[in-house]
Amino acid sequence: MAEKIQLSVVIITKNEAQNIADCIKSVMWADEIIIVDDFSTDDTARIARQFTDKIFEKKMEVEGSHRNYAYSLAKNEWILSLDADERVSPQLREELTRVLNEGCRYNVFSIPLRNYIGNYWIRWGGWYPAYKDRLFRKGHFRYEEVGIHPRVFYDGRCGRLNGDIIHYSYKNFDEFVDSLNNQTTKEAEKWIATGRKVSLHKALWRTIDRFIRTFIIKKGYRDGVIGLFIASCGGLYQFLSYAKYWEILHNPKFCIGKQLSLNLKK
């Protein structure tokens, strides 16, 4: 058996029984695999225990805080962050092994994500290569502690790797639309919680701008019907977020969080 490399792979899970085994198998060459599970009600934890005993349960209330907690559990200097629907490609494995064995001057590396809807690899519309900061030195990287689309902060320089993380983003259009609905709710709540002011004019402009940039400027049209679907949903994301933001402002009963209530009263 090949010697394992000193790398902590941290995987965030929530009801990922159908994905977790393949995800872990793609990183079995790492000497530490950590699962932070959001109290799954399926077999996620049981399946994960077949590969690692480092399984922790924690409810995800704020995404950025949740991820920062997960990374704090790592024993190694270097951490690779994955979601359960992702896989490390063989090319990325070879590249990671070389980089970590030889040493480097960077504290963070961005890695391209190869995103799929079903069996279709989305190549255009800004979906590939969708670089994400996923490999980093412990203590030099953290997420903004907000609930959706948290920014990343890090010390030092960021490099780029060439091997892909394969991301099975959505099984089908139905799952994509469910995610769109969930994320736009969180986006609207984030705007309220942070006191952000959003106008209808701005929301309409961003809706049109997102569609044009995705479908035309970033050549989403080259992915055919799927490209049109993605660009349309990208624009709709902006308008749905605004609609839910408007609803919360005009119907306080929809406000479910303490911080949201405090902002509404200002």
| Structural domain boundaries enclosing 57 | 5-169
Same domain, residue pair 184 and 92: no
Same domain, residue pair 148 and 180: no
Residue 52 has pLDDT above 80, yes or no: yes
Same domain, residue pair 165 and 180: no
Which two three-digit tokens encode residue 138? 């412990």
Contacts of 250 (CB under 8 A, 6+ apart): none
Tens of pLDDT, residue by residue over 213-222, are 999 999 999 9
pTM: 0.86
pLDDT on residue 183: 94
Same domain, residue pair 23 and 117: yes
**Mean pLDDT of the residues in the chain:** 93
Same domain, residue pair 137 and 180: no
Q: Name the pairing type of β-strands 108-117 and 130-137.
A: antiparallel
- Among 137, 169, 201, the domain-final residue is 169
Residue 258 has pLDDT above 50, yes or no: no
Average pLDDT over residues 154-181: 96
Same domain, residue pair 38 and 112: yes
Same domain, residue pair 125 and 224: no
- Among 169, 199, 234, the domain-final residue is 169
Same domain, residue pair 20 and 71: yes
Overall number of domains in the chain: 2
Residue 189 has pLDDT above 70, yes or no: yes
Average pLDDT over residues 34-62: 97
pLDDT on residue 255: 58
- Among 169, 197, 218, the domain-final residue is 169
pLDDT on residue 266: 47
Tens of pLDDT, residue by residue over 93-142, are 999 999 999 888 999 999 999 999 999 999 999 999 999 999 999 999 99
